[in-house]
């Protein structure tokens, strides 16, 4: 804890912001939740946490949909051990699954910035990890939300969930490109897409390890090389 601020110092402040809008069906919602729970409890993530200068991070898991729905399934927690990681993962797993209506990505980013600015932690790196299966259709404009994150020194990374069961409108949109152009922002921000259940689990795990370790995806992971 710093004497001047009274805040607990950690390596990363991380908001896991997960889409539960109407377009996310029950299977997708289950897949997202289980993927995050598995990653949070994984040895790779725990090793990444303990390998940092402080050996601890602060994390919260927030589910979002329309402009008024941002619900923490697990509020801010300090993770500095395997036991703490497993307890946080269990809390996420036990939270009731809810559904929202519209897709307000800007409001989700804005809410996450507020959560970081008002928590009890201090870190050199602050990250919003936002998943979504479609473009914004309601709420605070994305350029306004991104500007607020930039001003606060917060990086926004994206995990577009690309499913085969998209409507015609969503199928016409390159979701990975949309996230790259309209959602992510900040130092070393990146987009890692997921299409299948196995790919989703791998993307979440890899994304968390990179974010916690302060690393970047390889060109192959970003689809820049075959």
Residue 225: the pLDDT is 42
pLDDT in tens, 173-207: 789 999 999 999 998 899 998 877 778 888 899 99
- Angle, CA 45 vertex, CA 72 and CA 84 arms, to 5°: 60
Q: Could you tell me which residue, 196 or 8, shows the higher pLDDT?
A: 8
CA terminus-to-terminus distance, the chain = 46
Handedness of CA 102, 107, 109, 114 (dihedral sign): negative
**Cα(178)–Cα(221) distance, rounded to whole angstroms?**
18
Burial 98-109 (b: 16+ CB within 10 A, else e): eebebbbbbbbb
Burial 25-44 (b: 16+ CB within 10 A, else e): eeebbebbbbbbbebbbbee
**Cα(74)–Cα(60) distance, rounded to whole angstroms?**
6
| Greatest extent of the chain over all pairs of C-alpha atoms, in Å | 56
Residue 197: the pLDDT is 73
- Whole-model pTM: value is 0.92
- For 145, the token pair is 């939300």
Q: To the nearest whole percent, how much of the chain has pLDDT over 90?
A: 70
pLDDT in tens, 19-62: 999 887 777 778 888 999 999 999 999 999 999 999 999 999 99
pLDDT in tens, 164-181: 555 444 456 789 999 999
Q: Backbone phi, then psi, for 151, in 5-degree steps?
A: -60, -35
Q: Quickly list H helices, the chain.
A: 26-40, 43-50, 82-94, 105-117, 142-151, 168-171, 175-182, 197-213
- For 22, the token pair is 């109407």
**Which of 185, 184, 192 is closest to 208 using CA atoms?**
192
């Amino acid at each position: 804890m710093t004497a001047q601020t009274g805040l607990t110092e950690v390596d990363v402040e991380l908001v896991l912001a997960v889409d539960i809008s109407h377009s996310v069906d029950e299977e997708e919602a289950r897949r997202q939740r289980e993927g995050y729970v598995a990653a949070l409890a994984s040895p790779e993530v725990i090793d990444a946490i303990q390998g940092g200068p402080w050996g601890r991070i602060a994390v919260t898991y927030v589910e979002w949909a329309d402009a008024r729905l941002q619900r923490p399934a697990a509020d801010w927690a300090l993770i500095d051990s395997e036991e703490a990681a497993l307890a946080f993962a269990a809390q996420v797993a036990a939270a009731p699954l809810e559904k929202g209506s519209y897709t307000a990505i800007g409001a989700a980013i804005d809410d996450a910035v507020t959560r970081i600015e008002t928590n009890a932690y201090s870190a050199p790196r602050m990250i919003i990890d936002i998943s979504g299966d479609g473009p914004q259709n309601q709420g605070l404009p994305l350029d306004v939300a991104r500007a607020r994150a930039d001003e606060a020194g917060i990086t926004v990374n994206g995990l577009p969930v690309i499913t085969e069961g998209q409507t015609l409108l969503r199928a016409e949109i390159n979701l990975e490109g949309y996230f790259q152009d309209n959602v992510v922002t900040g130092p070393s921000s990146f987009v890692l897409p997921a299409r299948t259940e196995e790919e989703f689990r791998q993307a979440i795990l890899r994304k968390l390890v990179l974010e916690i370790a302060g690393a970047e995806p390889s060109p192959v992971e970003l689809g820049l090389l075959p």
